[in-house]
């Protein structure tokens, strides 16, 4: 038996259920969920608001996702299973596979949030308080559900599934449809679709093709830190120091030293010019990292450079003091936080830049590095690799936990990272 409350799903207005002969009145409600691009870590929105009629797509067929939090009062396994059904609904018809991961470095994050919230450390909000959910186009892809409506105002799991399939469609690059027979129609109707309809299937197949292989949820094995063969002839093993270490947009771990970089994912990597890989980047950078939005930032002196993949974005370099107020210049390194923001290190001191606050660096900074849990007195480099964080000092490395404390013993960089004899 269908209960009246199972037919009522408030999307954009506070809706009082009118009971007539024990039946609920179902009203068409617009989603108000047009997908968009957020501002970048440094506050610049260099991509601007793109033409929503243009094509957006992922440049790979295996996408990872994670559920950051869960609505209260609903078993997490029920939410997890429903979201899995929503992803599978798209995967059945096109060459896309989805795998759930516990890592923070996934392609698509899903979360239940209030009106004002954060996306991977950056401020984010629903366009209206009455918005049900919103999603981001590829290759951002994240999805946020308004926790006010899930599941506190009578929304059923079928209604949530309908919304999840709709939002994933945006996350994969689909726009709103004008057809009421489409899951991508701009409003939720009384007929709750639980999977893509013919128009949706045709649209998604135009982007990613018709499914030509069985569905899979297998995650490829993670990259190893070291390579299987010893590097006995490379100049890398003769380095007495290096400037920084960073992952590029493909996940390659690159060591930068002077004018050259070395790709640690290669066996016996030769020195290559930094300017050939990242055009316009000067030598001898101070610090670097690739943020959760896959933009790579390089810092030197009082300036920083930002790259989308291997292309420098417009109007860079920019001033560190302007874009990251309170962060010092001439840094030694930057260590990304597992939640939001980063630690900046210079000499024997450090600063914490918190992207969740209006004043990102509080007045009690800088602090002494020795106050952290077991850190060496000075740092040369830092790296976030998957879910693990590392710091480097005098060709020794240390793993750092989420509380910014050293985990275990230090190791030799040449042996374990450079794979030298």
In the sheet with 381-385, reading across from the earlier edge strand, the strands are 381-385, 388-393, 396-400, 406-412
Burial class (CB in 10 A: 0-12, 13-18, 19+), 60: exposed
**Catalytic annotation, pick one of 167, 195, 266, 313:** 167
Helices first, then strands: H and E counts in the chain: 6, 26
Longest Cα–Cα distance of the chain, Å, equals 84
State how far the Cα of 350 lies from the Cα of 414, in Å rounded to an integer: 26
The DSSP symbol for 20 reads: B
State how far the Cα of 161 lies from the Cα of 157, in Å rounded to an integer: 6
Identify the three-state secondary structure at position 209. coil
Our answer to whether residue 371 is catalytic in this structure is no
Q: 55: which 2 tokens?
A: 């094509």
In the sheet with 260-263, reading across from the earlier edge strand, the strands are 244-247, 253-257, 260-263, 272-273
Q: Are 123 and 354 in contact (CB under 8 A)?
A: no
Q: 203: which 2 tokens?
A: 């649209």
Half-sphere exposure of 4 (CA within 13 A, CB side): 10
Q: 315: which 2 tokens?
A: 């109007």
Q: 120: which 2 tokens?
A: 């991977």
Q: Which residues are catalytic?
A: 167
């Amino acid at each position: 038996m269908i209960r009246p409350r199972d037919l009522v799903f408030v999307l954009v207005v506070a809706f009082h259920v009118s009971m007539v002969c024990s039946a609920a009145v179902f009203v068409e409600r617009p989603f108000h969920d047009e997908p968009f691009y957020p501002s970048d870590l440094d506050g610049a929105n260099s991509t601007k608001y793109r033409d929503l009629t243009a094509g957006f797509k992922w440049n790979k067929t295996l996408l990872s996702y994670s559920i950051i939090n869960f609505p209260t009062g609903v078993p997490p396994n029920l939410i997890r299973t429903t979201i899995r059904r929503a992803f599978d609904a798209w995967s059945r018809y096109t060459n896309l596979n989805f795998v759930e991961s516990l890592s923070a470095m996934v392609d698509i994050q899903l979360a239940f949030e209030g009106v004002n919230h954060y996306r991977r450390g950056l401020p984010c909000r629903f366009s209206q308080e009455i918005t049900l959910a919103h999603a981001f186009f590829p290759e951002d892809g994240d999805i946020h559900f308004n926790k006010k409506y899930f599941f506190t105002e009578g929304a059923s799991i079928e209604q949530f599934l309908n919304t999840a399939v709709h939002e994933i469609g945006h996350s994969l690059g689909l726009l709103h449809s004008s057809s009421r027979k489409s899951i991508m129609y701009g409003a939720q109707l009384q007929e709750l679709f639980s999977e893509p309809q013919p128009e949706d299937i045709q649209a998604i197949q135009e982007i990613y093709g018709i499914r030509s292989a069985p569905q899979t949820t297998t995650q490829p094995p993670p990259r190893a830190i070291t390579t299987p063969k010893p590097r006995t002839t490379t100049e890398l093993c003769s380095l007495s120091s290096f400037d920084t270490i960073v992952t590029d947009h493909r996940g390659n771990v690159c060591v930068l030293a002077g004018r050259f970089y070395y790709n640690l994912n290669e066996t016996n990597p030769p020195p290559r010019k930094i300017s050939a890989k990242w055009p316009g980047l000067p030598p001898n950078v101070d610090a670097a990292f690739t943020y959760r939005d896959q933009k790579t930032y390089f810092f030197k002196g009082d300036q920083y450079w930002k790259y989308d993949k291997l292309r420098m974005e417009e109007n860079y370099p920019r001033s560190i003091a302007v874009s990251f107020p309170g962060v010092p210049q001439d840094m030694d390194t930057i260590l990304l936080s597992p939640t939001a923001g980063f630690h900046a290190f210079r000499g024997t001191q450090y600063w914490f830049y918190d992207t969740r606050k209006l004043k990102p660096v509080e007045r009690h900074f800088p602090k002494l590095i020795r106050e952290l849990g077991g850190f060496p007195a000075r740092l040369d480099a830092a790296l976030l690799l998957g879910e693990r964080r590392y710091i480097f000092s005098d060709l020794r490395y240390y793993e750092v936990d989420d509380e910014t404390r050293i985990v275990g013993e230090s190791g030799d960089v040449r042996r374990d990272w450079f794979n030298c004899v």
